[in-house]
Amino acid sequence: MKKRFLAFWIAILFCLSSCQSPSQPQTGNPTSASPFSPSGTQVNSVEPYADVRFLDITKVNGALDNSLIQTLWFNESTKWPSQYEDTAHEILELGMNPGLGVRNLHEQGITGKGVNVAIIDQNMVLDHPEFIGKIVKYFDVGTGQPADQGSMHGPAVTSLLVGENIGTAPGARVFYAAAPSWTGDAQYYADALNWIVDENGKLPKGDKIRVVSVSAAPSGPGSPFTAHNDAWDAAVERATQAGILVLDCTSNHGITAPCYYDLNDPDNVGKCTPGFPGMGSPALPGRIFIPTSYRTTAEEYSQGSFSYQYTGRGGQSWTVPYLSGVLALGWQIRPGLSNSQILDILFFSAHKTKDGLLIIDPAAFIKMIESTNDQ
């Protein structure tokens, strides 16, 4: 019974909207639009958790309220009834907060400054205000996408890690490898990770890449990737031997699970609920639960067209960059900590729910880091 329940939740983790799968590039509508301007089809009704990006929902009117808007997936090109524009904008602004005390850590100068991290994700352009100047190197392993075109996924995960207003580690530096998740071929991800390992080998001892954020599952049971899964496993082993921590969404090696905070009390870890909004709570002992909802992320489909999207039900993908950034905060303070040491502290410092599930607690994590000798 427990195995069937675990398998069910693994399937859910892979299938939610913001988790990458081998279908089509998640490019969305590349139309340049100012905040709350229309750029798409008009609809007359909206269900909870619906995707209303680029839609005109001005005719919905009375069916909308604060609680429904909070569940939606919308962006700055969604056109609202005039009486709800301010509400939607406020929710989008609230979703920029990583929550759980992260902004308080930033105010103390704990931003991941000086820590090198890496991301493997879909193609993007590098000039969004959330992360401009933070990408040390960018390498495309074969997405085949124009250099001036982005995706939904790439800017989102980057902003969750190093975003100036959104990220958990806005002071960290990123090595970025763009890979075509939609091909279903894990060889691209292996090539991306091997590039990161090679770049890491060129860096001086004090500037090594500490963690790679991979919001995909290129191997393992339930993986949506159908080719060259063994190449990914081999690349992960090579990275591990080089001292790099690889965090991904695989069901057998991944360590993250989703939770959602209280949008109006985001720093209260006791109010962070395991699972996805509107769904049950997963029993995933041994994993660390990380806020995926309700979050706002950077958006840029065409170079220079900067925007933001809000996800009322974010997917498993959002957990990995959030965690990677929190670990970067720890390494800023204690750079000598090994991968196993810092993960031990992460789990020991976690908030435990009444059901024994572990919620990430960045403030407690940093407090324990500060009292730890990294020599």
Look at residue 6 in the predicted model and tell me its pLDDT: 43
Look at residue 160 in the predicted model and tell me its pLDDT: 98
What residues does each domain of the chain span?
Answer: 102-370
The 10 Å Cβ neighbour count of residue 168 is: 30
Question: How far, in whole angstroms, is CA 93 from its chain's centroid?
Answer: 17
Look at residue 273 in the predicted model and tell me its pLDDT: 94
Would you call 354 exposed, middle or buried from its count of C-beta atoms within 10 A (0-12, 13-18, 19+)?
A: exposed
Q: What order do you get walking across the sheet with 135-140 strand by strand? A: 135-140, 173-178, 116-121, 209-214, 245-247
Q: What are phi and psi of 224, to 5 degrees?
A: -80, -5
CATH superfamily of the domain spanning 102-370:
Peptidase S8/S53 domain (3.40.50.200)
Taken as a whole, the chain contains a residue count of 375
Per-residue pLDDT of the chain (375 residues; tens, 9 = 90+): 344 344 434 444 444 433 554 444 444 333 333 333 445 788 888 999 999 999 999 988 777 899 999 999 999 999 999 999 999 999 999 999 999 999 999 999 999 999 999 999 999 999 999 999 999 999 999 999 999 999 999 999 999 999 999 999 999 999 999 999 999 999 999 999 999 999 999 999 999 999 999 999 999 999 999 999 999 999 999 999 999 999 999 988 899 999 999 999 999 999 999 999 998 777 787 899 999 999 999 999 999 999 999 999 999 999 999 999 999 999 999 999 999 999 999 999 999 999 999 999 999 999 999 998 766
Closest C-alpha among 256, 260, 236 to residue 326: 256
Would you call 190 exposed, middle or buried from its count of C-beta atoms within 10 A (0-12, 13-18, 19+)?
A: buried
Rounded to whole angstroms, how far apart are CA atoms 313 and 111? 26
Q: What six digits make up the tokens of 68?
A: 């429904």
